[in-house]
Each structure stands twice: as structure tokens, then as C-alpha cells.
Amino acid sequence: MIPRLSAPFDVTDAGALVSGWVRPGGEVAFEAAVAEMTGKRFVLAFPSGRSGFHALIKAMGWQDREIVLPAYTCAVMGNTVLASGNRPRLVDIEDSDFNMGFRALASAVGRDTAAVVATHMYGFPMDLEGLGKVLEGRPEVVVIQDCALALGARYQGRPVWRDGLAVMFSFSLGKHLSTVEGGVMATDDEGLYAAMKDYRDGTHHPAGIVRAARQSAFFMAGWLGLRPWLYSLVHGLTTRTGALGFLSKHYEPNRVYLPPNFRERLPNCLGHLGANQVGKASGLVSRRIEISEAYRRELAGVPGLSWPSPRDGASFSHCPCLIEDRDGFIAFMTGQGIHVGKEVFDYALPDIPLFAPFADGDCLEAKKVARWVALLPNHPGLSDNDVEQVIAATKRWGVL
Ligand SMILES: Cc1ncc(COP(=O)(O)O)c(C=O)c1O
């Protein structure tokens, strides 16, 4: 089967991970590598992006305030805002690029707004100039960049994370780069960095050997289990039995869900893995872009399938398109030996009972995208031949 996912690991990553079992300094090495890659002055490693985002909220001292999120984003962001003692305000997106719509945003920013999270969904850069205009006259409203999916994304030729008070990256499995689990917060503001570090160092306990062993096992499973020859089994386990569901668990319908490692430090071995991964960033990002652009070029006219139109500089963490009969398309592609996904964000936050009260209006675009989005395989593990097969199969579906 042609997998939709692969883990971007090789033997050098395995070596870095294993060395991290005896060599200290993984967290600091990872932070230094991310600082160099992003050009940000201060970087802090966390066990996940959401854990870093939570530390940021605490460092800013926000309590009982509103934090604006797009209605189509990862549910963990809503969970984190609620867990921090604040309220999410969910703003509808535009289906042209799946990012927050400015008209909706302008009416959502109010007296209690502490921050707007600029999410670059699927690596599609948000219009940061437009965002600045919407927030004109409200200098106290902070912009936080959610770059969980946007490593490599550029806006007007500059990395999207240059703007804003702080930026969050995620390095869980399936991202451009991966530390199995993990995330960072980065900022150029020394005071904010010190406050986040104080919070992290005072509240997060060391990961412990069980976590490190478990994550090392997931590294191996991700590296080997997502290879084409094992993928059908793994895919079957995931879709038919739900056995691996805990790996992608993001939310529960009626209560705030936080993962068990929310207040842990990043295991040392994963820090060394991360430092090694960063060294391969540009190749991993550019291959995803190359594959996604090939699909968009070759499949532009396929009936029944429509494409978002991200602005220049997209880094395509995934390659999404919109299809009304999504399940029919996925079933057809599975029959052709190709895994097309919907499972990353097949929900809009206002569809989840816990978050519904925080929706600004009916968020129809977010709900539609959640129902129609399909993700073509675009990971760097694909060969040119795989890409051609995906294109040919999609064209066959188009003439059915
Ligand atoms: C858009 C977005 N924001 C935030 C996150 C949270 O990252 P993490 O899972 O590392 O907490 C994710 C994770 O997939 C994401 O896709």
C-alpha cells in the first residue's frame, strides 16, 4: 500500500536517539538547533506544542480572558486554553486557504481578548499584513503564531514566524520534522522567555525512564511500521480495531483532555533526536512541497475535486483537497492500494460539544472543510513512481 504517512527517520536519527540514552544535554542541543534553524533568539523545548502553549499562557498571566482560535484547528488548542483558565473564541475560516477569515475575526476581537492565534493551517501562510490591519488600534492584543504545521512556510518571502510575540512548533509524528512527541516555544522577547522557562522548570518534572523507553519504542514502530510493506497491517489496525487510537487522541467530547506527559520535560534521547532532525529540515520540507505541487498541477481539472488556493510560500504539511463524496473517494483509492486520509482534522471545533459554546457564529466554512477534506499522501518517503500512481488513480476516479 502507498502510505499517507511516513516517519522521517533514518539511521543517523536512530544513532542520535540511542546516544541520548547515555549522553546528557539533549534538551539544550535541540533548543540550540531550533534557534539556529528559525533565527529566533530564545527557544524552549516541551513534550508537545500544546504544553509549550500552556506555559506561554501562564507566563503571560492570562486568566479568564479570551484567546481567539480558528474554528478549524487542532482540538488540543481549545483544550489547552480551557485548561489554562481562559476561554477560546472560535472564528470561522475561509475555504480558499483554510485560515481564519478577517471579517469574522474583526467582530470576534473584544474587550476580553488577550491573544489571537495565527494558525497557518496545513502550512498555508496566513495573511499577516491583513491580520495586523484587523488588530490596528489594539496593541495590547498579542499575536501567537501556531506553526505546528508550518515549518518552512513563508509570508512575503520571510518565514511566517518572524512576526508575533511567540511561536509554537510541534514535532509529533506526522509533522515535517519529528521527535516522536515534542514541541517548542520560540520568541525574541527575553522577558517572556525567562517567564516561560521559570514556569516550565518549576512545574514540569523529568520524564523518567519509562517515558523514554516508550517513546524510543514508538520511534522504532514509526520508522519501521510506516514502511509500505507493513503499512497495510498498521492501517488496518488503526481503522478497523482502533487499537492505535491513543496515538492520535486529541479530545474527548465533553471534558478537557490533556495527555499524561503534559507537565513533563522532553526526554533527553528525544532532544538528541530533534537536534539531528533539524539538520535535515530543508530537504524534508522541500520534498513535501514538490509532491504537493505536482498533485495540484496534474489534478487541477479533475471533476468533483476542488483545491484550496494558499498564498505563495505554503509548506504543505499535508496536501488537502475538498471532495463532497469523500468517503467514496477514500474507498476507491484504498482499492487502488493508496491511503488517502481524512483523520487529521475531520472535525471543526464547534462540532465538539465541549467547544460549541465558544463558537463565534455558525462557522459554516470550518464545518464544511471538516466534512469534505481529504489528504493525499505527500510525505518525503514517497518515490516519484508512488506520486505518479496517486495521480493516475485520482484521474481514474475523476472519470467514473
Ligand atoms: C494546528 C495545530 N496546532 C497545535 C497542535 C498541537 O501540537 P502538539 O500535538 O505537539 O501538542 C497541532 C498538532 O497536530 C496542530 O496541528
Tell me how far the alpha carbon of residue 101 lies from the centroid of ligand 1, in angstroms. Answer: 20
Query: Which of 180, 147, 397, 112 minimizes the C-alpha distance to 285?
Result: 147
Query: Which of 364, 254, 260, 269 minimizes the C-alpha distance to 22?
Result: 269
Please tell me the distance from the alpha carbon of residue 297 to that of residue 292, in angstroms, as a whole number. 9
- Please give the biggest Cα pair distance in the chain: 60
The rounded mean pLDDT for the chain is 94
List the alpha helices (DSSP H) in the chain: 11-19, 26-38, 49-60, 75-83, 102-108, 128-134, 190-203, 208-225, 228-236, 268-278, 281-298, 326-335, 364-372, 384-398
Q: Which of 172, 251, 263 to mutate to test the pocket of ligand 1 (most atoms within 8 A of CB)?
A: 172
Please tell me the distance from the alpha carbon of residue 84 to that of residue 256, in angstroms, as a whole number. 11
Q: How confident is the model at residue 290 (pLDDT cuts 50, 70, 90)?
A: very high
Please tell me the distance from the alpha carbon of residue 365 to that of residue 71, in angstroms, as a whole number. 9
Residue range 307-318: mean pLDDT, rounded: 97
Residue range 78-91: mean pLDDT, rounded: 98
- Residue 248's pLDDT is 65
Sign of the alpha-carbon torsion through 362, 325, 243, 214: negative
The answer for residues whose C-beta is within 8 angstroms of residue 352's C-beta and 6 or more apart is 75, 78, 251, 253
Q: How confident is the model at residue 223 (pLDDT cuts 50, 70, 90)?
A: confident
Tell me how far the alpha carbon of residue 400 lies from the centroid of ligand 1, in angstroms. Answer: 36
Q: What is the number of the ligand 1 atom nearest to the C-alpha of 50?
A: 11
Q: What is the number of the ligand 1 atom nearest to the C-alpha of 146?
A: 3
In the block, residue with C-alpha cell 519509562: 210
Say whether pLDDT at 104 is over 80: yes
Q: How confident is the model at residue 292 (pLDDT cuts 50, 70, 90)?
A: very high
Say whether pLDDT at 246 is over 70: no
Domain ranges of the chain: 1-280, 281-398
Q: Over pLDDT 70: what percentage of the chain?
A: 95
Say whether pLDDT at 37 is over 80: yes
Say whether pLDDT at 55 is over 90: yes
CB 191 within 8 A of CB 168: no
The answer for residues whose C-beta is within 8 angstroms of residue 333's C-beta and 6 or more apart is 339, 340, 393, 394, 397
- Residue 65's pLDDT is 98
- Residue 247's pLDDT is 61
Q: How confident is the model at residue 1 (pLDDT cuts 50, 70, 90)?
A: confident
Say whether pLDDT at 213 is over 60: yes
Tell me how far the alpha carbon of residue 29 lies from the centroid of ligand 1, in angstroms. Answer: 22
Sign of the alpha-carbon torsion through 354, 164, 166, 97: positive
Residue range 365-374: mean pLDDT, rounded: 97
> CB neighbours (10 Å) of residue 138?
12
| Ligand 1 contact, 146 CB (< 6 A) | yes
Tell me how far the alpha carbon of residue 132 lies from the centroid of ligand 1, in angstroms. Answer: 24
Give strand pairing partners of 183. Answer: 46, 170
Q: Over pLDDT 90: what percentage of the chain?
A: 88
Instruction: Report the CATH fold assignment for 1-280.
Output: Aspartate Aminotransferase; domain 2 (3.40.640)
| Ligand 1 contact, 77 CB (< 6 A) | yes
Which carries the bigger pLDDT value, residue 1 or residue 204?
Answer: 204
The three-point CA angle 318-321-324 to 5° equals 140
Q: Whose CA is nearest to atom 8 of ligand 1?
A: 49
Say whether pLDDT at 225 is over 60: yes
Tell me how far the alpha carbon of residue 69 lies from the centroid of ligand 1, in angstroms. Answer: 13
- Residue 86's pLDDT is 98
| Ligand 1 contact, 84 CB (< 6 A) | no
Please tell me the distance from the alpha carbon of residue 110 to that of residue 46, in angstroms, as a whole number. 31
How do residues 131-155 score in pLDDT, each as one tens digit? Answer: 999 999 999 999 999 999 999 999 9
Give the global pTM. 0.95
How do residues 157-188 score in pLDDT, each as one tens digit? Answer: 999 999 899 999 999 988 999 999 999 999 99
Say whether pLDDT at 244 is over 60: no
- Residue 243's pLDDT is 56
Question: Which grid cell sits at 212?
Answer: 523514554
Question: Which grid cell sits at 63?
Answer: 486568566
- Residue 95's pLDDT is 86
| Ligand 1 contact, 349 CB (< 6 A) | no
Burial-class residue 285 by CB neighbours within 10 Å (0-12, 13-18, 19+). Answer: buried
Q: What is the DSSP string of 136-201?
A: TT-TTSEEEEE-TT-TT-EETTEEGGGSSSEEEEE-STTSSS--SS-EEEEES-HHHHHHHHHHHH
Say whether pLDDT at 389 is over 80: yes
Instruction: Report the CATH fold assignment for 281-398.
Output: Aspartate Aminotransferase, domain 1 (3.90.1150)
Tell me how far the alpha carbon of residue 149 lies from the centroid of ligand 1, in angstroms. Answer: 7
- Residue 275's pLDDT is 98
Please tell me the distance from the alpha carbon of residue 144 to that of residue 227, in angstroms, as a whole number. 36
Say whether pLDDT at 100 is over 90: yes
Q: What are the Cα distances from residue 265, in Å, to 149, 258, 382?
A: 22, 15, 33
